[in-house]
């Protein structure tokens, strides 16, 4: 085992330092990877564990978008805190089973302890509210919809949707996360049950339009039950007007869920947290740790002010094989969607313990400041920013794009092909297509922003049809899988 752990250390130490010279995105197709796997892994002869670690690390290093790169301006995938990687290794090693408190007392209490910290930041009562870790925002949102249905329609548990009088309907803005489409499908509500409420020019939900939609549905015999407000939309990082949405939900007896999958981190910053005022009125909230809290996937969190509803929604008769519960504790299998479950919270616990609340605040504030700096640099270089948010996500366009000379997609493609930075595009609910850059790494510096803007300028100046060459990448390409890399040799 010692040798195996050593090979793991050798394969990964130094990667962060090399990363600046490393292309952010690979240029590879399925054939090359499949050939490598076919040639080396017929599974006819055993492969040494150390060799395996080296080869897999080389594959991941060469053939993937490096989301932990400081110039990955991407889709909420963070640079991970090393201590949270160690936490995941510890979890995998001891493999605690969290379904039952009695099976994993330490791991269960660690999760409970760290969740109480986040409950406090949300303004929920740590003693009265429930919280658990999920695989991510999708599962947390799914849990919230099931809880809202269970709360609102007592007949549903036994009789299903067919036992209900009218079609239950739920509401999110036109920028709501698309996970709700899958959830509407998976819960049997049907995708048509998800009403998308118009947004204003600022991309925030229009609460008056929400109210009109609810009233109209009610007139049609539907049964509105849930309003979803987003605190930090995925496309543009915009925060819905939480107090106004909460007021409409209260007036119409709707469960209020706040999806703060990414934006929840703002609650850790004294500078930013006021932008999420109103979240404390939610019945439930989603907050992903594997986004801005900078821990590895998969780590979401679901908070709910109604523990009894979760117990009704997810409780079962205990199987005869399940040991009895322990007084003063809740068994996760009976209060959440998963059954067997890994310890997700240790990586959050260890990251928070290592940084401290103040360290996390600095991390969040640094990324927000980089977002601000990126906005300024873009405006200074003649670009136009098309979203408004205090969070570090910038949607932008250029006079040459608006003049029709080239598309946002073409610009993003050129930047990505250049290998020095990664950006993407979005189609906003206003109908506009724009470039999108999010500060996802706590290691992003002002120099990284300069390089991004330089690459964007090159992309927008390049003549149509000409790609950017990968001429300015670092001197050494990452090691080819299968060939011992110089780094490995040097380090052993
Ligand atoms: C990312 C995201 C989700 C989905 O979360 P996963 O962790 O990817 O499952 C849901 N809502 C919002 C607002 C998000 O940004």
Beta bridge partners of 433: 427
Which atom of ligand 1 is nearest the CA belonging to 260? 13
Ligand 1 site-directed mutation target among 78, 133, 136, most atoms within 8 Å of CB: 136
Among protein residues, the one with the nearest Cα to ligand 1's atom 15 is: 234
Give the Å distance between the CA of 360 and the centre of ligand 1: 21
What number is the average pLDDT over the span 328-347? 95
Helix, coil or strand: residue 163 = helix
What's the pLDDT score for residue 478?
54
What number is the average pLDDT over the span 175-180? 98
β pairing state of 223-230 and 255-259: parallel
Give the C-alpha separation, 244 to 334, whole Å.
34
What's the pLDDT score for residue 489?
32
Burial class from Cβ neighbours inside 10 Å (0-12, 13-18, 19+) for residue 46 reads exposed
What number is the average pLDDT over the span 192-220? 98
What number is the average pLDDT over the span 49-70? 96
pLDDT in tens, 61-85: 999 999 999 999 999 999 999 999 9
Ligand 1 site-directed mutation target among 234, 294, 301, 338, most atoms within 8 Å of CB: 234
Residues with CB under 6 A from ligand 1: 76, 136-138, 141, 177, 179, 230, 234, 259, 261-262, 288, 300
pTM of the model: 0.94
Among protein residues, the one with the nearest Cα to ligand 1's atom 5 is: 137
What number is the average pLDDT over the span 169-193? 98
What's the pLDDT score for residue 472?
44
pLDDT in tens, 356-383: 999 999 999 999 999 999 999 999 999 9
Which atom of ligand 1 is nearest the CA belonging to 262? 15
Residue 328: HSE in the Cβ half-sphere, 13 Å Cα cutoff: 2
pLDDT in tens, 110-125: 999 999 999 999 999 9
∠ CA 204-208-212 to the nearest 5 degrees? Answer: 125
User: Is the peptide bond between 441 and the residue preceding it cis, with omega within 30 degrees of 0?
Assistant: no
Mean pLDDT of the chain: 93
User: Percentage of the chain with pLDDT > 70?
Assistant: 94
Give the Å distance between the CA of 137 and the centre of ligand 1: 4
Which atom of ligand 1 is nearest the CA belonging to 230? 13
Count the neighbouring beta carbons within 10 Å of the beta carbon of residue 432. 15
Tell me: pLDDT of 421 over 90: yes
pLDDT in tens, 103-161: 999 999 999 999 999 999 999 999 999 999 999 999 999 999 999 999 999 999 999 99
Give the Å distance between the CA of 187 and the centre of ligand 1: 18
Give the C-alpha separation, 443 to 410, whole Å.
27
Give the C-alpha separation, 332 to 330, whole Å.
6
Look up residue 210 and give its two tokens.
Answer: 């929400």
**Displacement of CA 361 from its chain's centroid (Å):** 18
């Amino acid at each position: 085992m010692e040798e195996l752990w050593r090979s793991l250390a050798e394969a990964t130490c130094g990667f962060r330092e090399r990363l600046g010279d490393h292309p952010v995105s690979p240029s590879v197709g399925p054939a090359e990877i499949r050939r490598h796997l076919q040639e080396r892994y017929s599974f006819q002869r055993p492969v040494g564990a150390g060799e395996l670690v080296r080869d897999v690390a080389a594959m991941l290093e060469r053939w993937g978008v490096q989301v932990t790169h400081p110039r990955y301006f991407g889709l909420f995938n963070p640079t991970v805190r090393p201590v949270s990687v160690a936490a995941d290794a510890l979890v995998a090693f001891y493999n605690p089973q969290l379904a039952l408190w009695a099976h994993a007392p330490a791991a269960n209490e660690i999760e409970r302890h760290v969740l109480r910290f986040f409950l406090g930041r949300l303004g929920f009562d740590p003693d009265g509210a429930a919280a658990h870790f999920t695989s991510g925002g999708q599962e947390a949102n799914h849990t919230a919809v099931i809880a809202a249905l269970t709360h609102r329609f007592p007949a549903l548990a036994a009789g299903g949707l067919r036992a209900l009088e009218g079609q239950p309907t739920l509401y999110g803005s036109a920028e709501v996360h698309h996970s709700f489409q899958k959830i509407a499908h998976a819960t049997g509500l049907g995708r048509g049950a998800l009403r998308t409420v118009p947004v204003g020019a600022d991309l925030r939900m229009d609460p008056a339009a929400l109210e009109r939609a609810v009233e109209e549905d009610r007139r049609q015999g539907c049964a509105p039950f849930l309003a979803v407000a987003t605190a930090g939309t995925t496309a543009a990082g915009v925060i819905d007007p939480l107090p106004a949405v909460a007021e409409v939900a209260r007036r119409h007896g709707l469960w209020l869920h706040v999806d703060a999958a990414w934006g929840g981190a703002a609650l850790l910053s004294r500078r930013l947290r006021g932008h999420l005022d109103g979240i404390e009125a939610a019945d439930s909230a989603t907050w992903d740790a594997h986004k801005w809290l900078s821990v590895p996937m998969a780590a979401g969190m679901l908070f709910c002010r109604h523990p009894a509803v979760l117990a009704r929604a997810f409780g079962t008769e205990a199987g005869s094989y399940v040991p009895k519960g322990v007084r003063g504790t809740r068994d996760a299998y009976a209060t959440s969607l998963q059954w067997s479950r890994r310890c997700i919270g240790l990586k959050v616990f260890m990251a928070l313990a290592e940084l401290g609340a103040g360290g996390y605040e600095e991390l969040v504030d640094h990324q927000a400041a980089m977002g601000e700096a990126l906005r300024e640099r873009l405006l200074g270089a003649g670009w136009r920013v098309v979203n408004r948010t205090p969070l570090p996500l910038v949607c932008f366009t250029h006079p040459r794009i608006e003049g029709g000379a080239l598309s946002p997609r073409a610009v993003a493609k050129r930047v990505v092909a250049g290998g020095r930075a990664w950006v993407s595009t979005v189609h906003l609910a206003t109908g506009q297509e724009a470039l999108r850059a999010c500060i996802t790494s706590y290691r992003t510096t002002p120099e990284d922003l300069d390089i991004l803007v330089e690459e964007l300028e090159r992309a927008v100046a390049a003549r149509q049809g000409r790609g950017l060459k990968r001429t300015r990448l670092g001197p050494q390409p990452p090691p080819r899988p299968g060939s011992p890399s110089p780094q490995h040799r040097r380090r052993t």
